[in-house]
Amino acid sequence: MIVIEDVMVQFGGVRPINGLTATLTAPVAGLIGPNGAGKTTLLNVLSGFVTPVRGNVMLGGQPLLAMTPLQRVRHGLRRSFQTEQVVEDLTVRGNLKAIADHVVAAPDRHEAIDEALTFVGLGALGDRLGQSLNLFERRLVELGKCIIGKPKLILLDEPAAGLTEEEGNTLRELILRVPAEFGAQVLVIDHDVELIRAMCKETIVLDYGKLLAIGPTGTVLAHPDVRRAYLGEL
Ligand SMILES: Nc1ncnc2c1ncn2[C@@H]1O[C@H](COP(=O)(O)OP(=O)(O)OP(=O)(O)O)[C@@H](O)[C@H]1O
C-alpha cells in the first residue's frame, strides 16, 4: 500500500505536484493524466530522485522520504524507466546481477536471477549482451530486474510503449502475475487508457499536480472531469 500525504514539489515557480493526498491499495494500480500532469514527478518522488518541499510518503507502513534511492531499493522499491536502462555491454544475467548484488544475499543470488529469467521468459538468453537485445527483450530484462529481491512496490513507466500488440499483451500478462507471485504492488503509468483499464483495478488521475480522481478504474474513467481533462471530451 502506498500512502501519499499532502505532497508538494516545487521547481522555481512550477508546482508539478501540488498538495497531493492519495492512498493506493490495488495489487496493480494505474497512474494517468495529461502531459505535464506530474506523473513522472510523482514517480521521481517515490523513487527518491525528487525531494518534495513538504508531505509524507509511506510504503509498507514505513516513511520513504528520509531514505536515499538505494535505501528505497533495499526497502523493496523498483522502477522501470520510459527509456529502458539495460546496460549494453553486460549480459542479460549481468544486468540482473547488478541489482541482485544490492538486494539478495550472496548465496541466494544465482537462484534469484534464474527465477527472474525464467519468469520473464529469458532463460535461454542469459548470456546475450544487452546491446544485442530488441526492445521487447529489453523490457523483459527491465521487468526481471524489478522482481528480484522481494520487491514491495514496482513502478512501471509506459511499459508497453513501442511494443507490438502481441508483445504488449505478453508483458501485460506477466505484470498481472507479479503481485501474487512476488508479493509486490505494481503502479503503472501509461497514456494508453485501454491498457490501464485492462490491467488496473484502481486508478489515480493527476491534473496539473492535483488529484483529479481516484478509485476503481471503470468509475474513474467514466468520471466527467476525467473525460473532459484527459480524454478531451467536452
Ligand atoms: N526538473 C524540473 N524543473 C522544472 N520543471 C519541471 C522539472 N521536471 C518537471 N517539470 C515540470 O513539471 C510539470 C510536470 O512534469 P511531469 O514530467 O511530471 O509530467 P508528466 O505527467 O509525467 O508528463 P508526460 O505525460 O508528458 O510525461 C511540467 O510542467 C514540467 O515541465
pLDDT of residue 154: 97
pLDDT of residue 81: 74
pLDDT of residue 39: 93
Cα separation, 143 vs 121, whole angstroms = 11
Which residues of the chain carry a pLDDT beneath 50? none
pLDDT of residue 181: 96
Where are the strands (E) in the chain, listed by range?
2-11, 14-24, 28-32, 54-59, 62-63, 77-80, 153-157, 185-189, 202-207, 210-216
pLDDT of residue 128: 96
115, part of any domain:
no
pLDDT tens-place string over residues 189-223? 998 888 999 999 999 999 999 999 999 999 999 99
* Assigned C-alpha cell, 122: 529469458
Q: Is the pTM of this model over 0.95?
A: no
Question: Atom 10, ligand 1: which residue's CA is nearest?
Answer: 16
162, part of any domain:
no
C-alpha 181 – ligand 1 centre gap (Å): 33
User: 192: domain CATH number?
Assistant: 3.40.50.300
Taking the CA of residue 206 as reference, the ligand 1 atom at the shortest distance is 21
Instruction: Give ligand 1 pocket residues (Cβ under 6 A).
Output: 11, 14, 16, 33, 35-41
* Assigned C-alpha cell, 185: 504492488
Q: Domains in the chain: how many in total?
A: 1
ipTM score for this prediction: 0.93
Domain assignment of residue 43, given as a range = 1-76+184-234
DSSP β-ladder status, 54-59 and 2-11: antiparallel
End-to-end CA distance of the chain: 34
